[in-house]
């Protein structure tokens, strides 16, 4: 095809794109004018009838809302507002874009990609072309059209003069270098993906598929689609949860690039306001913390005597010293906890039980010179300042992080875990809590559980009590949640990498989606959770009743990995996963991944060499993936190497991420790291789009 044909087609599209931007400038001016007029209307002393004013205000709000979204979309970083065109058999052409734009005569200059009319852009295939003759993907940089890629779907219906340019937008898109942020795929969504994106909002929508099949991309585009369809109901009430802050960062630009800014994106460690946990426990520790057995451990620990509580109550009444010792106080505490009221609402009950215990003491001491009256004693002691001072220290407000921190004391942990966890498990937990000051991602779910079990701490009246130690993990400025604090219910919850959620984490999310519909995205083959049955139970409880609509979509094409890379990665789990459950990688690079075995003393140099090689081979990012406990060491080996493009990541932190090239360091370490080591290695080996080197010290390092 001569270059001049391509240029002519680019020029044709440029003319249309120019018209779109000219119209947008008009719309922007109109919206601003309308906003100002609406403002004057709202504040002026006009004589319009109330109803008329209300309807104008409504119109103004609608227009200003539209204009605001339009401006936000225009101002977002993306690669052009218009990205597609359909030529249909009835002679119509339709331009597809991130937002719909109407002309002055109300004709469509651009059709929103989420509108029903645009569905054919994604659903038409060569086998089933519907009414589409030609599908064109338009590449823009800002307002400039730089290229077009066509697919001719109905050659039989194509007019003589119709030009067809390029070899397919998908393959071109997949070959592009990757950066630190995921890009939207609006221009090249494939049919199987589109079906999942446009599934109805209600009930539970499950999207599964192997690595690189676009599950995350599909989930995010689905959110944009649902907001387009049901903005009034869902606006501000959608939560997307991913495994780590690195992951949420990585995907954070996708929705804004589609003009959607009202979605709350959180990682598992910061679902709960006020806690920002980032460090990841070793797999065996995470497995204990995530197990439902922890529920019983937590219920026990919150019933323990707080470490700051006084161990003796002494009070004088009628010349007698009434005394409750440590074990008597513990009995009183037990009696209070037998009631169903949450501890933070039980102080009055605690006071009553203490007074009753004091009365029993007084009865014991009753004799010639001491004849106490029950009512009088309860009233007198209950009104004493010394009694209240004791009560506040003995039954303090309990912040969930404070109560969890009691388990850092091995003796308290052993008591709370007796006959629930094994001695070895207790030791593992103890050692891990001793190693870190802050909270881990798995701890966040425990803190959330305690928050609910303890109930909200009473608001301090004058000064904060010493024990109210809500610990915030990071020194970053507190992020302002889109929703009011502790109003944590959402109407749609998207869970990514769902295969890794522990039952305790499912409980945490379930609390936020009591009335929600769900999109659950994951790949069982990539799971790092050892007890699939327990996790499934936790998930079923979180997403609710079996009577709900439940639809499943399976994505089967791996768009990320070069076929050569995926073939080697798949070998690691072939005997764990049925062949038909592995995705099909569509893109070949002609370059095989390498596996190098070196001596332990040469490992650092070999890793450095492999990193240098791939940095020279690819333009985008390089991930060096190693066992969690070696991240610091390996980063040291690569100190100063291409800081802008090279990242050293731990095996459990690379979930969901993507690089142009990867270096897998010492695969044996990844295998040994946890009972699901083989799946972890599979995840690590499926992160690269173009190149992969595996470097290890063991000849048979790959299964
Ligand atoms: N239709 C498409 N057009 C262009 N790129 C696509 C398409 N579908 C997926 N991709 C790209 O493929 C890569 C993998 O997508 P994504 O991360 O969503 O896969 P995933 O199934 O969530 O993977 P994993 O399970 O490994 O985390 C991304 O770079 C994404 O942009």
pLDDT of residue 229: 92
Nearest CA residue ID for atom 25, ligand 1: 211
The values of phi and psi at residue 508, to 5°, are -60, -45
The answer, yes or no, to whether residue 69 has pLDDT greater than 70, is no
Question: For 578-645, where are the E strands, in sequence order?
Answer: 584-587, 594-597, 622-626
First-residue to last-residue Cα distance in the chain: 48
Share of the chain above pLDDT 70, in %: 88
Interval 480-529: pLDDT, tens? 444 444 456 899 999 999 999 999 999 999 999 988 999 999 998 888 77
Contact 134, 162 (CB under 8 A): yes
More confident position, 530 or 161? 161
Burial class (CB in 10 A: 0-12, 13-18, 19+), 628: buried
pLDDT of residue 174: 78
The values of phi and psi at residue 141, to 5°, are -115, 110
Query: What is the pLDDT of the chain when averaged over all its residues?
Result: 87
Provide the CA 31 distance to its chain's centre, in angstroms. 35
Nearest CA residue ID for atom 26, ligand 1: 211
pLDDT of residue 415: 97
- Give Cα separations from 287 to 92, 408, 577 (angstroms): 58, 18, 22
List of long-range contacts for 458-465, beta carbons under 8 Å, 24+ apart: 458/344, 458/347, 458/397, 460/397, 465/392, 465/396, 465/397
pLDDT of residue 271: 93
Report, as an integer, the average pLDDT of 365-391.
91
Q: How far is the CA of 187 from the centre of ligand 1 (A)?
A: 13
More confident position, 37 or 404? 404
Burial class (CB in 10 A: 0-12, 13-18, 19+), 700: exposed
The answer, yes or no, to whether residue 583 has pLDDT greater than 80, is yes
Length of the chain: 703
Q: Is the CB of 242 under 6 A from ligand 1?
A: no
The answer, yes or no, to whether residue 410 has pLDDT greater than 90, is yes
Share of the chain above pLDDT 90, in %: 62
pLDDT of residue 477: 45
Question: For 184-332, where are the E strands, in sequence order?
Answer: 204-209, 238-242, 264-267, 313-317, 320-324
Interval 100-139: pLDDT, tens? 888 888 788 999 999 999 999 999 887 888 899 999 999 9
pTM of the model: 0.84
Residue 468: which residues within 8 A CB-CB, separation 6 or more?
397, 399, 402, 457, 460
> Which of these, 328, 253, 235, 244, lies nearest to 286 by C-alpha position?
244
Tokens representing 674?
Answer: 């946890």
Contact 639, 647 (CB under 8 A): no
Q: How far is the CA of 654 from the centre of ligand 1 (A)?
A: 15
Q: Which residues pair with 265 in a beta bridge?
A: 240
Most confident of 76-90, 448-462, 606-620: 606-620
Q: Is the CB of 598 under 6 A from ligand 1?
A: no
d(CA 283, CA 446) in angstroms, rounded, equals: 16
- Cα dihedral across residues 621, 189, 223, 517: positive or negative: negative
339 is in an annotated binding site: no
Tokens representing 171?
Answer: 């393959």
For residue 490, the SS3 value is coil
Q: Is the CB of 306 under 6 A from ligand 1?
A: no
213 is in an annotated binding site: yes
Contact 391, 385 (CB under 8 A): no
pLDDT of residue 43: 56
Q: Is the CB of 445 under 6 A from ligand 1?
A: no
> Which of these, 545, 522, 517, 499, lies nearest to 239 by C-alpha position?
517
Report, as an integer, the average pLDDT of 354-358.
96
For residue 622, the SS3 value is strand
pLDDT of residue 466: 47
Interval 214-244: pLDDT, tens? 999 999 999 999 999 998 899 889 999 999 9
Question: Would you list the DSSP string of 176-222?
Answer: SPP-SS----TTT--HHHHHHHTS-SSSEEEEEESTTSSHHHHHHHH
Contact 654, 625 (CB under 8 A): yes
Provide the CA 380 distance to its chain's centre, in angstroms. 55
Report, as an integer, the average pLDDT of 571-579.
89
The tokens 């100002």 sit on which residue?
36
Q: How far is the CA of 682 from the centre of ligand 1 (A)?
A: 16
The tokens 């009473």 sit on which residue?
458
d(CA 219, CA 556) in angstroms, rounded, equals: 15
d(CA 51, CA 89) in angstroms, rounded, equals: 47
d(CA 196, CA 219) in angstroms, rounded, equals: 8
Task: Give the helix ranges, DSSP H, for 366-384.
Answer: 374-382
Choosing from 217, 253, 655, 684 the residue with most ligand 1 atoms within 8 A of its CB, the one to mutate for a pocket test is: 217
Q: Around Cβ 199, how many Cβ atoms within 10 Å?
A: 20
215 is in an annotated binding site: yes
d(CA 492, CA 201) in angstroms, rounded, equals: 8
Give counts: helices (H), strands (E), the chain.
Answer: 26, 21
Nearest CA residue ID for atom 27, ligand 1: 656
The values of phi and psi at residue 482, to 5°, are -70, -30
pLDDT of residue 176: 75
Q: How far is the CA of 665 from the centre of ligand 1 (A)?
A: 24
d(CA 667, CA 53) in angstroms, rounded, equals: 69
The tokens 């992969």 sit on which residue?
692
CA atoms within 13 A of residue 609's CA, in its CB half-sphere: 10
Q: Is the CB of 534 under 6 A from ligand 1?
A: no
The tokens 């049925």 sit on which residue?
578
Q: What is the ipTM of this complex?
A: 0.99
> Which of these, 71, 62, 72, lies nearest to 35 by C-alpha position?
62
Contact 110, 24 (CB under 8 A): no
205 is in an annotated binding site: no
More confident position, 64 or 637? 637
d(CA 558, CA 570) in angstroms, rounded, equals: 12
Q: Rounded to 5 degrees, what angle do the CA atoms 228, 52, 229 make?
A: 10
Interval 253-305: pLDDT, tens? 899 888 788 899 999 999 998 889 988 999 899 999 999 999 999 999 999 99
211 is in an annotated binding site: yes
Tokens representing 294?
Answer: 């922890």
The answer, yes or no, to whether residue 671 has pLDDT greater than 50, is yes
Q: How far is the CA of 559 from the centre of ligand 1 (A)?
A: 6
């Amino acid at each position: 095809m001569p270059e001049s044909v391509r240029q002519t087609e680019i020029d044709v599209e440029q003319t249309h794109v120019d018209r779109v931007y000219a119209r947008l400038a008009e719309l922007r001016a109109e919206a601003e004018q309308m906003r100002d007029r609406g403002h004057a209307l709202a504040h002026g002393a006009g004589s319009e009838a109330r109803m008329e004013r209300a309807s104008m205000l409504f119109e103004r709000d609608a227009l200003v809302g539209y204009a605001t979204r339009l401006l936000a979309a225009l101002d977002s970083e993306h690669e052009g507002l218009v990205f597609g065109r359909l030529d249909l058999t009835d002679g119509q052409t339709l331009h597809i874009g991130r937002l719909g734009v109407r002309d002055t005569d109300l004709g469509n200059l651009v059709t929103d990609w989420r509108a029903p009319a645009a569905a054919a852009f994604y659903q038409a295939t060569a086998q089933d072309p519907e009414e589409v003759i030609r599908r064109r993907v338009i590449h823009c940089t800002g307002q400039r059209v730089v290229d077009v890629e066509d697919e001719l779907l109905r050659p039989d219906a194509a007019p003589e003069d119709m030009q067809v340019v390029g070899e397919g937008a998908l393959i071109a898109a997949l070959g592009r270098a990757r950066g630190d942020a995921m890009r939207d795929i609006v221009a090249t969504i494939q049919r199987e993906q589109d079906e999942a994106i446009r599934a109805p909002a209600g009930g539970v929508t499950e999207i599964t598929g192997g690595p690189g099949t676009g599950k995350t991309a599909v989930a995010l585009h689905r959110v944009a689609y649902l907001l387009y369809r049901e903005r009034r109901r869902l606006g501000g009430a959608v939560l997307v949860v991913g495994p780590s802050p690195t992951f949420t960062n990585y995907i954070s630009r996708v929705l804004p690039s589609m003009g959607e800014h009202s979605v709350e994106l959180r990682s598992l460690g910061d679902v709960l306001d006020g806690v920002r946990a980032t460090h990841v426990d070793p797999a065996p520790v995470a497995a204990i913390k995530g197990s439902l057995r922890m529920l019983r451990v937590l219920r026990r620990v919150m019933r323990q005597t707080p470490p700051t509580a006084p161990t003796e109550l002494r009070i004088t009444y009628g010349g007698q010293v009434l005394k409750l010792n440590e074990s008597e106080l513990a009995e009183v505490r037990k009696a209070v906890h037998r009631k169903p009221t949450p501890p933070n609402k039980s102080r009055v009950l605690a006071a009553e039980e203490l007074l009753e215990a004091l009365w029993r003491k007084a009865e014991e001491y009753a004799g010639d010179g001491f004849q106490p009256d029950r009512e009088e004693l309860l009233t007198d002691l209950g009104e004493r300042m010394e009694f209240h001072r004791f009560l506040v220290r003995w039954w303090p407000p309990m912040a969930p992080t404070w109560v969890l921190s009691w388990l850092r004391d091995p003796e308290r942990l052993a008591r709370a875990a007796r006959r629930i966890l094994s001695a070895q498990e207790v030791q593992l937990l103890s050692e891990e809590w001793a190693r870190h000051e802050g909270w881990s991602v798995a701890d966040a779910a425990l803190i959330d559980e305690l928050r609910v079990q303890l109930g909200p701490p009473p608001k301090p009246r004058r000064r904060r009590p010493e024990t109210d130690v809500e610990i915030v993990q990071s020194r970053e400025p507190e992020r302002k949640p889109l929703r009011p604090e502790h109003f944590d219910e959402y109407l749609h919850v998207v869970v990514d990498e769902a295969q890794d959620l522990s039952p305790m984490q499912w409980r945490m999310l379930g609390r936020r989606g009591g009335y929600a519909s769900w999109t659950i995205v994951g790949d069982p083959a990539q799971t790092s959770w050892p007890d699939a049955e327990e996790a499934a139970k936790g998930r079923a409880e979180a997403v609710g009743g079996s009577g709900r609509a439940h639809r499943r979509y399976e994505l089967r094409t791996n768009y990320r990995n070069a076929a050569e890379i995926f073939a080697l990665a798949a070998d690691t789990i072939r005997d764990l996963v049925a062949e038909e459950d592995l995705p099909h990688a569509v893109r070949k690079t002609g370059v095989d991944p390498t596996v190098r075995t070196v001596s332990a003393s040469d490992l650092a140099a070999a890793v450095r060499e492999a990193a240098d090689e791939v940095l020279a081979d690819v333009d985008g990012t390089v991930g060096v993936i190693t066992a969690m406990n070696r991240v610091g060491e390996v980063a040291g080996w690569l100190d100063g190497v291409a800081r802008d493009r090279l990242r050293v990541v731990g095996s459990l932190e690379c979930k969901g991420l993507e690089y142009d090239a990867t270096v897998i360091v010492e695969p044996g370490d990844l295998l040994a790291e946890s009972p699901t080591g083989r799946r972890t290695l599979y995840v690590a080996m499926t992160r690269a789009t173009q190149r992969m080197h595996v470097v290890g010290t063991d000849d048979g390092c790959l299964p």
